[in-house]
A and B are shown apart, each in its own frame.
Chain A
């Protein structure tokens, strides 16, 4: 579904990504872990070109999205993204947050979009919040709405950029629960997270990143129980 070839990203002199090669299969759940500054968020943001790679290629369902002539907006319609800071639109109601993109893209009529939004809101347990505004909601609620907003476009893959890192501890669970449900439904997911429990439970494959490369990858069992790289061992000792 997503293929990454020799991806490099520099911010000025700082080399954040130093050659990443990856293939993400349909329905696969890939969890990226690693210390801060390891480039994991940058890698994720390159996948939908929120960061422009310095060199390398990214293919999404056969289309090279790094090619200059590619219509990136059309690609992004099929890749949902959830941010650490939620980034809900504060001037719009929850309902308008969710329906803005499908209506603007003319994928659905207003009525269809609202019906779909209510279905999704019910799925994350927030149907009564449709007419409230983001600022009235808790962090956990906001992040669940943000997930719904991305899902409203019916994406083929969901990218999660540390979705629980900005949440109060007691709200982490409700967001992870929604993500687990999404995983069970068969969504292709790429998740950058510090939630090792989630990585172990939901991930098909775990990537350990450090210094802008994937140092080690494998099933959660391999990575968490029998890491081979000393840096992975060191990192896991600190976080577990």
Chain B
């Protein structure tokens, strides 16, 4: 209780400070006489600080991350399944997976999102976050499966033969010998796919999911600033993808070191 009060007080104090700074230049702003730095402050004040608008971006970022994370999981799981189906010896499985990948890769993601939102879940009351996860996950799965498939194919056939000659089953050989090596080869492309996925969730703005892009768009509709809200959203995207690139780069380097131990 006490801490909430204190937080509230601190917020009010800081808000007051920003508001006071704004009041200092407000008249000049109305008259259109702001200098460069004052213009920048005006933009930041209106698009980020005023009325705690920064919270909109953070909420949007939260939803973007939430959708991306679960869509990546779904995509990874489904993608593995599809890759194994395409590499299996059962013709019908190959066909099904091939057609799926063909359809997903051959149609715009926006169209897929619209079909899933209005077509499949059109009459069902369901959280848009879940729709977003499903739409992006199904899309990503097709690309992940191709990445994994090429990774698996890049592993020398002799590895499979060595595994099988030791009496390991097809699946054991895949799991213990081929897959770990395939994953290492596929990691850079997977990193790319995850980053693409994060950015592509912005398409969900179309179905009124208030993720990071839509959040920026919402602010624009309030302030009529054409640049600042989108730039704020863009910076947040950059931070997330930058951190992810760093992390996966580290992982990749560690795996490569394993080669030369």
Q: Which residues of A contact B (CB under 8 A)?
A: 48, 50, 73-77, 79-81, 83, 85, 87-91, 100-101, 104-105, 132-133, 135-136, 146, 149-150, 153
Contact = CB atoms under 8 A, between A and B. Distances in A.
Interface size class of B (residues with CB under 8 A): 20 to 34
A47 to B, nearest CB: 11
Interface of B: 156, 158-159, 161-169, 172, 176-177, 180-181, 184, 258-261
A200 B176 CA distance: 39
Nearest to A102: B166
Contacts of A88: 162
Contact of B167 (A50, A73, A87, A91): A73
A104 B168 contact: yes
Question: A-B pairs with the 3 shortest C-beta distances?
Answer: A77-B167, A87-B162, A101-B166
Contacts of A150: 165-166
Contacts of B159: 87, 89
A91 B258 contact: yes
Nearest to A73: B167
A104 B180 contact: no
A91 B260 CA distance: 10
B166 A83 contact: no
Contacts of B176: 100, 104
B165 A132 contact: no
B167 A74 contact: yes
A135 B181 CA distance: 14
Given A48-B165, A85-B158, A89-B162, A133 B172 contact: no
A135 B156 CA distance: 15
B261 A133 contact: yes
B259 A76 contact: no
Contact of B165 (A81, A85, A90, A136): A81
A132 B169 CA distance: 26
25 contacts: A50-B165, A73-B168, A73-B169, A75-B167, A76-B166, A81-B162, A81-B165, A83-B158, A83-B165, A85-B158, A87-B159, A89-B159, A89-B177, A89-B181, A91-B181, A100-B166, A101-B168, A104-B176, A132-B261, A135-B260, A146-B162, A149-B166, A150-B166, A153-B166, A153-B167
Contacts of B158: 83, 85, 87
A153 B184 CA distance: 28
Nearest to B158: A87
Nearest to B184: A91
Given A91-B180, A132-B261, 13 more contacts: A50-B165, A73-B164, A75-B167, A83-B158, A85-B158, A91-B258, A101-B167, A104-B168, A104-B176, A105-B168, A133-B261, A135-B260, A150-B165
A136 B261 contact: yes
Nearest to A107: B167
Contacts of A132: 261
Contacts of B162: 81, 83, 87-89, 146
A90 B163 CA distance: 13
A76 B167 contact: yes
A228 to B, nearest CB: 35
A108 B255 CA distance: 29
Nearest to A82: B165
A127 to B, nearest CB: 18
Contacts of B168: 73, 101, 104-105
A100 B163 CA distance: 10
Contacts of B166: 76-77, 100-101, 149-150, 153
Given A50-B165, A87-B159, A135-B260, A104 B181 contact: no
Contacts of A80: 165
A126 B85 CA distance: 41
Nearest to B261: A133
A30 B170 CA distance: 30
Contacts of A81: 162, 165
Nearest to B260: A135
Nearest to B167: A77
A136 B258 CA distance: 11
A135 B259 contact: yes
A104 to B, nearest CB: 6
A40 B37 CA distance: 82
B187 to A, nearest CB: 13
B164 A133 contact: no
A90 B167 contact: no
Contacts of A90: 181, 259
Nearest to B183: A91
Nearest to B172: A104
Contact of A83 (B161, B172, B180, B259): B161
